[in-house]
Each structure stands twice: as C-alpha cells, then as structure tokens.
Amino acid sequence: MPNDLSVLQGQRCNQSESRSVMRLHQGDCITLRSDAGLFQVIGIDGDHDRCWVRQWPLKPQGSPVFEVPLDQITSPSGSD
C-alpha cells in the first residue's frame, strides 16, 4: 500500500503519525480534533485515509453518520 495506513483483517488499521502509532477499530469510541464530543467508529477506508463516525451515545432519534479524515481523530484521552 503506498501510504502509511494499512488495513488489517477485521476493519483494523494502523496509521503512523510522526513516531506514534494509532490503532483504530470499528466500534471504537474516539474524539475529533474539531469537536469535544464522543463518537463511535462505524467504518474505516484505509485506502483513502477516511472513516465514518456517529455521535455517541446514540440519540433516541438516531445519530447521523458522517465521514472524517483519519488525521482528525484522537483517542478519548486526548493522546494519539
């Protein structure tokens, strides 16, 4: 694969950013650099460095799914 992201079996991916490694799995709860809320990973597209997330916890009327670049994701603790 020509980029630093590789998709592994089971919707898992590794992304190298500087010297740290981010491990992202479908179902993980994450935060975004642009939003303090909590989001759940729905799907990952490692070939295009994107994933789909929805707000967590789910709202009674449902939480819309939207696409974000992988470089906008941080772990809930803020360390990535």
The more confident residue out of 13 and 68 is: 68
Model's pTM, two decimal places?
A: 0.68
Residues contacting 76, CB < 8 A, separation 6+: 29, 30, 31, 38
Residue 80, pLDDT score = 52
5-74: CATH architecture: Roll (2.30)
Residue extents of the structural domains in the chain? 5-74
Quick check: 4 pLDDT over 50? no
User: Beta strands of 26-79 (E only): which ranges?
Assistant: 29-32, 35-45, 50-56, 65-69, 73-74
46-77 per-position pLDDT tens digit:
899 999 999 999 999 999 999 999 999 988 76
Over range 25-38, report the average pLDDT. 94
Residue 15 near residue 4 (C-beta atoms within 8 A) = yes
